[in-house]
Amino acid sequence: MPGIDLNDIKRRMDGAINAFKSDIASLRTGRASANILDPVTVDAYGSRVPLNQVANITVPEPRMLGVSIWDKSMVGAVDRAIRESNLGLNPIVDGQNLRIPLPDLNEERRKSLVKIAHDYAEKAKVAARHVRRDGMDALKKAEKDGTIGQDDSRAQSEKVQKMTDDTISEVDRLLADKEKEIMQV
C-alpha cells in the first residue's frame, strides 16, 4: 500500500516506550534493583565506562545491592563513582566486593521520584507525538503529490492516530504501575 511505512512508525513508537521503560527502571523504589546503578560510570583504564563493564551487580537481599568488582585495582574507583552518582548510596567495601544498603525512602523522596517518573512519561509521550506528526506530514505530502488517494490517506492517518493513542495509554499504564510501586511503604 502506498503512503507511509506503518511498521516504521510502530517501531519508532515502541522505541519511545522502551526508552521510557529503561528510564523508570533506574528510579529507586523500596526494593533493590540492579538497574539502580545503570547511570553510574567509572573511571577505568583511561576512560569512563558503565559500572556493569567492570563488575557484576547482584541483589542478595531486598534492601541490599552487591557489586563484585573483577579487577582489584578498580575497587576505589567504583566506590568513588557510586558515592558521587547522586543516588544517595554509601557502599561498604568488603575486599573486592561492595555491599550497598538501600536506605528507606521518606515521603518527600517518594514524591520527588514520582515527579521524575511523570517527567519521563511526558518525554515519552512527546516522542510518540513527534512520530505521529512525522507520519501525518508524510501522508499529507504523499496525498499532495498524488501518490496516495484521499481515502487511503485518511485510513492510514487513522491507523497512525490509533498507534499514538495506544502508545500513550501504554506509557500511562506503566507510569501508574511505577507510581504505585514508589509510593508503596
Q: Which three cell numbers stand for residue 168?
A: 500513550
pLDDT at 164: 95
Task: Give every residue of the chain whose pLDDT is below 50, as ranges.
Answer: none
CA distances from residue 100 to 6, 21, 60, 63, 146 in whole angstroms, order as listed:
46, 24, 10, 9, 62
| Cα(180)–Cα(185) distance, integer angstroms | 10
Q: Which three cell numbers stand for residue 148?
A: 496516495
pLDDT at 109: 78
Domains and CATH numbers, the chain: 6-28+106-184 (1.10.132.20), 34-101 (3.30.1360.40)
Length, in residues, of the chain: 185
SS3 content of the chain, % helix, strand, coil (to 5): 60, 15, 25
pLDDT at 166: 95
Neighbouring C-alpha atoms within 13 Å toward the C-beta of 177: 10
Average pLDDT of the residues of the chain: 87
Q: What is the pTM of this model?
A: 0.68
155-166 pLDDT, tens per residue? Answer: 999 999 999 999
Sole residue written with cell 540492579: 34
Q: Are 32 and 102 in contact (CB under 8 A)?
A: yes
pLDDT at 46: 86
CA dihedral 116, 41, 57, 120 (to 10 degrees): 20
